Amino acid sequence: MSNKKQSTQPRISVIGTGYLGATHAAAMAEMGFEVIGVDTDPAKVAALAAGQVPFFEPGLPELLIKHVSSGRLRFTTDIAEATAMSDVHFICVGTPQQRGSNAANTAYVEAATLAVVKNLSHDGLIVGKSTVPVGTGAKLRSIVRENIPEGLTAELIWNPEFLREGKAVADTLTPDRLVIGGASPKAEALMREVYAMPLATGTPMIVCDLPTAELVKVSANAFLATKISFINAIAEICEAAGADVKVLADALGHDVRIGRQFLNAGLGFGGGCLPKDIRALMHRSSELGAYSAASLLQQVDEINMSQRQRVIDLTLEAVGGSVLNRRIGVLGAAFKPDTDDVRDSPALNVAAALHLRGAQVIVFDPEANETAKRSFPTLSYAETMEEAVTGSDAVLVLTEWPEFVNSDPAALFALAANPAIIDARNCLDAASWTGAGWTLRSLGRPAGVAADSGASVLGTSSVVGELVPAA
């Protein structure tokens, strides 16, 4: 590209420093690049510049501090400064669900792209990483063409992210695949330079057209969501027939065509990624006339949401039909372990629903108490697991944190007013809990079946799938 700034290697800007952007910026610095992160929120920029991560992600604080201290990673609110010092511009802003619609809101992506283009001082490559509806890239290319300063050139391509919350650093540094969409030979060569480190270790790069790249992330999330909803639908059959959904899932998982990951019956998926992504894909499919996909995703979403009501029903059964003035201990607020993300958290949804029925709900989460308080301030929060269990008429395990899975049922039994526990994630050893005196209920499993029964029967341990995080 002509007029490109002279440097020994491309310099990188990351537009948007939320979960995706902060992680990507730190990882790019770890790969050896000079990186500048840009955000419109001065408080967030100040925190990151001080080496403080405003959310919980294992390994990210250490990476951030390392490269802020070295000077390789900087943060600013000045988009002109960022574009002036950079050659490759990653768009990492959010695409939340539109109000009153299932469609994704691409306004932030459009604004970020426009800001980069208008402030270009030399030729550049704009790389979309945000999760967007198919067709967004074509619209953004029009924005680039119409607003680029005279005498400069810029190319827009797509490079979707595949981060899992709790494993985002590893997923960026050692991804299982890289997808590059709509790139010219020059842009592809530049992206191979940017990703030289993972490519050198064998990470495959799939080079494709722009629409295919836009569809990869949402299709992956839709498939994973479908797999989760499938096993939850089978769990309903298991309950009616007296079968054990976990043993069934273990048996299915031995088929290499199916695999064991994401076949964990329970409360279902949540977070800032899967729910909004499948709804956005459902909406876009209908717009394109692909009604079979829209219908399938509608069923996936409905099955997933129904699991929350099923856990509420089990809780009502456990306390005699009404939770009014009953103390309910809720273990878990984050939508999954190893994160403090409570966006569309099934755990908090269930907790709030019980609160609205008159229950005294006491929530404990090892990392997400503070984020949960901001979203659901009317709930009560405990400082420890033991505090949440003390005096409870029922205990609900809604997020499978290791400290809940490995807790001592006998010690907790002594604290509960009524030793009833709802294992909404099928993560507890039911034999240990019932042996300690607890009445245990779970989804899709007969009462009193040990959580590792599938392993003892099949000679293999189950694999817990990971949800894919949000931009």
DSSP letters, 178-195, are: EEEES--HHHHHHHHHHT
Reply yes or no on whether 273 is catalytic. Answer: yes
Could you tell me if residue 34 is left (phi over 0), alpha (psi between -120 and 50 degrees) or otherwise beta? beta
The CA-based dihedral angle spanning residues 14, 61, 95, 267, taken in that order and rounded to the nearest 10 degrees: 160
15 CB contacts (<8 Å, ≥6 apart)? 21, 38, 79, 82, 89, 90, 91, 92, 93, 112, 115, 116
**Which of 92, 238, 273, 427 is flagged as catalytic?**
273
State how far the Cα of 20 lies from the Cα of 165, in Å rounded to an integer: 10
β strands within 258-348, DSSP E: 327-331
Q: Are 267 and 465 in contact (CB under 8 A)?
A: no
Crossing angle for the helix pair 291-318 and 274-287, to the nearest 10 degrees: 150
Burial (CB count within 10 angstroms: exposed 0-12, middle 13-18, buried 19+), residue 135: middle
Q: Of 308, 338, 345, which Cα lies nearest the Cα of 422? A: 308
Q: Quick one: residue 286, left, alpha or beta (phi over 0 = left, psi -120 to 50 = alpha)?
A: alpha
Contact 439, 420 (CB under 8 A): yes
Q: What is the DSSP string of 403-441?
A: HHHT--HHHHHTT-SS-EEEETTS-S-HHHHHHTT-EEE
User: Count of alpha carbons within 13 Å of 313, Cβ hemisphere only?
Assistant: 8
For residue 238, which amino acid is it?
Answer: C
Contact 51, 161 (CB under 8 A): no
Can you list the pairs that 302-309 forms with residues at least 24 positions away whose Cβ atoms lie under 8 Å?
Answer: 303/229, 303/232, 303/233, 303/268, 304/225, 304/228, 304/229, 304/232, 304/268, 304/269, 304/275, 305/268, 307/232, 307/266, 307/267, 307/268, 307/346, 307/443, 308/267, 308/268, 308/346, 308/349, 308/350, 308/353
**Do β-strands 178-181 and 12-15 pair in parallel, antiparallel, or remain unpaired?**
unpaired
Give the residue from 376, 183, 166 showing the smallest Cα distance to 271: 166
Catalytic site positions: 273
